[in-house]
Amino acid sequence: MSTLLASQEVEMLRSEMELLMKERQALLQVAGAAAGFIAELDSFDVPKAAMEAAELLAEGVNALSEETLQDALAAVQAKIVA
């Protein structure tokens, strides 16, 4: 009985891990698109009403680790141009 329970737990954990990986990929795509958007944005063209949201988005992108940002950009096939 304990072997059956253990295999059910392993399968449940495997399913949860797959779900988390899919969610991570979706979030990386969102973050990559946001990073690309921020990189292309000219702050002088942003309406004042949208400036707070743009700043919040930029702060979120800037808070990402280098590795996560690279993964996010790769998820949308974007590159950092220095």
Quickly list H helices, the chain. 2-40, 48-62, 66-75
Interval 2-20: pLDDT, tens: 898 889 999 999 999 999 9
CA 41 to CA 14: how far, in whole Å? 40
Would the pLDDT of 1 be above 80? no
14-52 pLDDT per residue, tens: 999 999 999 999 999 999 999 999 888 888 888 988 999
Task: Using CA atoms of 8, 11, 13, 19 in order, give the dihedral in degrees to the nearest 10.
Answer: -140
pTM of the complete model: 0.80
User: In whole angstroms, what is the distance from residue 71 CA to residue 55 CA?
Assistant: 22
pLDDT at 78: 80
CA angle centred on 45, ends 43 and 50, rounded to 5° = 75
The model's confidence at residue 79, banded by pLDDT at 50, 70 and 90, is: low
Q: What is the DSSP letter of 77?
A: T
